[in-house]
Amino acid sequence: MHFIVFEGLDGAGKSTLIEGLKRELTTLGESVVLTREPGGTELGEKIRELLLTKDGESPVARAELLLYEAARAQHCDKVIEPALAKKHWVICDRFSASSIAFQAGGRGLDRKTIDQLNSFATQDLAPALWVLLDLTTAEAMRRMQGRDLDRFESENKDFHERVRQRYLDLAKENQQSWLVLDASRKPSELMLELMAKLKERKLWPA
Ligand code: TYD
């Protein structure tokens, strides 16, 4: 299955690496669908706006989680599953692990409940590989300076620290399906390492 997910703190450089990977795969004649969470569908993009805006009433943590899961269910059925069925590559900017890192790690919601909701929303769909772009919170926050920050990016350092730690725990829990990259390195080096690791794990087109 050609499904790869990129995760990490905001500011880790997911977009650059995702674009690079798409370019490499397209050059090899592969067809690639780039997508993201929350979002990826018309409904999901509307939910994304509700989740990221700093205007008006903020959702409580449980409502926030359920909105992510609603967007995810739509995304799986309407975009990811159909693309995988056509043998396309699907490269996704965040997926169910973000709910564990941000809503369990960051917000303190119960992990078991999140696992159950993730399983319900995705129908147990999981990528062939999770790529974690790991960065210290200090560096992530430095990179976000001067940006127009959304509701999550505006959270304090402790929040981002808990998110980072939860990601590292997840990657440790399941080393076969996670690849941790040091996101403080140059984008060109990260790209080379990513391709080497994909080859090592037999995930690169033969
Ligand atoms: P992202 O697209 O990475 O933001 P940006 O476009 O600003 O880089 O993700 C949006 C935010 O949503 C991000 O701060 C993480 C958060 N998020 C969760 O809290 N839970 C989730 O399940 C997902 C998918 C994202």
pLDDT digits (tens, 9 = 90+) for 69-119: 999 999 999 999 999 999 999 999 999 999 999 999 999 999 999 999 999
175-192 per-position pLDDT tens digit: 999 999 999 999 999 999
Helix (H, G, I), strand (E, B) or coil at 33: strand
Ligand 1 pocket residue status of 94, Cβ below 6 Å: yes
Least confident of 64-68, 76-80, 125-129, 202-206: 202-206
Question: How many CA atoms does the CB half-sphere of 192 hold within 13 Å?
Answer: 4
**Does the pLDDT value for residue 206 go beyond 90?**
no
Q: Report how far residue 105's alpha carbon sits from residue 83's, in angstroms, rounded to the nearest whole number.
A: 31
What atom in ligand 1 is closest to the CA of residue 106?
19
CA of 24 to the centre of ligand 1 (A): 25
Are 63 and 78 in contact by the 8 Å Cβ rule? The answer is: no
116-150 per-position pLDDT tens digit: 999 999 999 999 999 999 999 999 999 988 888 88
Q: Is the whole-model pTM more than 0.85?
A: yes
Closest-CA residue to 135 (of 194, 181, 195, 187): 181
Q: Is 31 left (phi over 0), alpha (psi -120 to 50) or beta?
A: beta
142-164 per-position pLDDT tens digit: 998 888 888 888 888 999 999 99
Closest-CA residue to 130 (of 100, 86, 85, 151): 100
Ligand 1 pocket residue status of 36, Cβ below 6 Å: yes
**Does the pLDDT value for residue 194 go beyond 90?**
yes
Are 151 and 58 in contact by the 8 Å Cβ rule? The answer is: yes
Ligand 1 pocket residue status of 38, Cβ below 6 Å: yes
Q: Report how far residue 98's alpha carbon sits from residue 8's, in angstroms, rounded to the nearest whole number.
A: 8
What is the pLDDT, as a whole number, of residue 1? 81
Cα–Cα distances in angstroms (integers) from residue 49 to residues 37, 75, 78, in the given order = 11, 15, 19
Ligand 1 pocket residue status of 61, Cβ below 6 Å: no
Test site for ligand 1: of 75, 100, 150, 160, most ligand atoms within 8 A of the Cβ: 150
Q: Report how far residue 24's alpha carbon sits from residue 107's, in angstroms, rounded to the nearest whole number.
A: 37
Token look-up 């087109």 returns 205
Helix (H, G, I), strand (E, B) or coil at 101: helix
Domains and CATH numbers, the chain: 3-200 (3.40.50.300)
Ligand 1 pocket residue status of 122, Cβ below 6 Å: no
What is the pLDDT, as a whole number, of residue 160? 95
